[in-house]
Structure 1
Amino acid sequence: LVSGLRHNFQEICAERLKEVGLSQGLVYFVLYVGAHEGCTQTEMNNALRVDVGYSTRSVSKLVEAGVIERAPNPADGRSNLLHLTQKGKEVSAFVEELVTEWDEEALSCLDPAEKSQLVDLLGRVVFSMGAQREYGN
């Protein structure tokens, strides 16, 4: 069931993201930087659990598209701090709206108590899976 929801979300994203010139794979980087302005790429890689090569290529595409900018890290000359540009902030707001619209549509068949219960249960599943990965179980 979760895979079916993910597939539906991917289809909608693939179509709607064309409006802002992004692929779905780049969205997570935009959302992360928007929520963690001034983060390093290493911090982002760890949080999103992506490898350095994939992240470097993705951030470079976003820099070229004018969505993200790199700034020297005054605390560590070997790294950069990531920030959204004005265009990036607009893209981030567009994506957040897209996610909210999809959530509302997907959950429209549930009453408020059922939505709350579903969010709680899914949160527990996500936490459980994250904890398993952290401890190698």
Structure 2
Amino acid sequence: MSSPDLVQLVERLHQDLGRPERELLAPGSSWNLSQTLQHCAQTVRYSVTGYPALRPALFRATAGALAKRVFLRRGAMKHPLGAEIDGAPPLDPALPVTEAAAGLADAVALFTGHTTEHAPHPAYGRCSHDEFARLHAMHLAEHLPGLAGG
């Protein structure tokens, strides 16, 4: 299975912003669309600027590295959809969706223009640019399966 393309998903998001949230969000999402977009923007941005907190090195080298390999091989990920990023600012449920979408687009632009080594992921550890691009796309697709469905 091939993973979705991050830039294409963000372009699709801008086309789909008028659709009902329930058509975009994963069933059982604990966040609204704005919070979900803020969360996805945080993780994309942090892969460039550095995550606020990392899991222990042993975890990143073992269970985290294994999870990364499995997700990349499958082209899809599965994780708790309400899990916030440790140390990240709280998600604002009242932030307009258009602002949250613009924040995600800005984070993706920062990421796509990044040419040096990325910050380690809190669970997966070091990732190449291509690995992060694929992981971010899978992350967005898991939170917003309505985008990936075409």
Q: TM-score when scaled to structure 2?
A: 0.28
- Tell me which protein shows more helix as a share of its residues: 1
**The structure with more radius of gyration:** 1
Return the structure number with greater relative CO, CA threshold 8 A, min gap 6.
2
When normalised by structure 1's length, the TM-score is 0.30
